[in-house]
């Protein structure tokens, strides 16, 4: 089995594990901890479990206030998750596959919530006194954010410009890029 295929299988496994972990944690918040009825549980001075129903996407944007908007948002986010999956299956570099698997696992966790409940279950409340550097979030949100940050870091910091490779890509021959990627990340 070539390394690229192995990385993709690992990516699918990681996305699946993250999805399952996200759903288990949310089940615990809803069931055994009854966070929805308790509202908030103080854990340590700078971290609480706080119930929040996010009807929008990141930070509450694009709020789905009715059933039609809810299902449109489910469809749109499912389509984006499909694009991420296709990208992951076409990718050859291990670091990018890792980042995409984080994004995919998180996206699937939030899509299932939105389809099941009409909102995404958020609970992680990090704060320093009254200062909250983040909105209340969940494991899926953290996975998506970390995955995006890895992709951005790799795009800006880890890729080298290669004039010969660029010329080959423009000419329609990207074999140089494939060989370099295999050598760097093999």
Which residues are known catalytic residues? 122, 141
Q: Pairing mode, if any, of strands 120-126 and 40-44? A: unpaired
Own/partner long-range contacts of 86-91 (Cβ < 8 Å, ≥24 apart): 88/8, 88/11, 88/12, 88/15, 89/8, 91/8
Question: What is the CB neighbour count within 10 angstroms for residue 13?
Answer: 12
């Amino acid at each position: 089995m070539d390394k690229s295929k192995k990385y993709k299988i690992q990516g699918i496994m990681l996305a699946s594990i993250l999805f399952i972990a996200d759903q288990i944690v949310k089940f615990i918040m809803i069931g055994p901890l009854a966070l929805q009825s308790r509202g908030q549980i103080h854990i340590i001075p700078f971290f609480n479990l706080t119930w929040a129903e996010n009807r929008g996407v990141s930070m509450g944007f694009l709020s789905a206030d009715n059933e039609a908007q809810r299902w449109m948002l489910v469809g749109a986010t499912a389509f984006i998750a499909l694009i991420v999956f296709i990208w992951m299956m076409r990718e050859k570099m291990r670091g990018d596959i890792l980042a995409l698997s984080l994004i995919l696992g998180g996206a699937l966790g939030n899509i299932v919530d939105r389809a099941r409940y009409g909102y995404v279950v958020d609970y992680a409340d990090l704060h320093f006194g009254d200062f909250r550097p983040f909105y209340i979030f969940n494991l899926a949100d953290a996975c998506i954010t970390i995955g995006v940050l890895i992709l951005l870091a790799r795009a800006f910091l880890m890729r080298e410009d290669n004039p010969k490779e660029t010329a080959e890509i423009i000419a329609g021959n990207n074999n140089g890029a494939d060989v370099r990627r295999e050598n760097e990340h093999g």
